[in-house]
Amino acid sequence: MNYLDAIQWDTHGLVPVIAQEQGTGDVLMFAWMNREALQKTVELGRAVYFSRSRNKLWFKGEESGHVQTVHDIRIDCDQDVVLLKVTQTGHTPGIACHTGRHSCFFSVLKDGVWQPSDPVLKDPQTIYK
Along the 129 residues of the chain, how does pLDDT read in single tens digits?
799 999 999 999 999 999 999 999 999 999 999 999 999 999 999 999 999 999 999 999 998 889 999 999 999 999 999 999 999 998 777 899 899 999 999 999 999 999 999 999 998 888 876
Q: Residue 129 has what pLDDT?
A: 63
Q: Residue 125 has what pLDDT?
A: 87
Q: Residue 118 has what pLDDT?
A: 94
Q: Where are the domains of the chain?
A: 3-91
Distance CA 48, CA 97 (A): 15
Q: What are the C-alpha distances in Å from 61 to residues 12, 39, 66, 79?
A: 24, 18, 4, 27
Please name the helix (run of DSSP H) or strand (run of DSSP E) that holds residue 38, with its range, or none: helix 35-44
Burial (CB count within 10 angstroms: exposed 0-12, middle 13-18, buried 19+), residue 12: exposed
Q: Residue 70 has what pLDDT?
A: 98
pTM: 0.90
Report the C-alpha dihedral over residues 2, 4, 5, 6, rounded to 10 degrees. 100
CATH topology of domain 3-91: Ubiquitin-like (UB roll) (3.10.20)
DSSP 46: B
Q: Residue 5 has what pLDDT?
A: 96
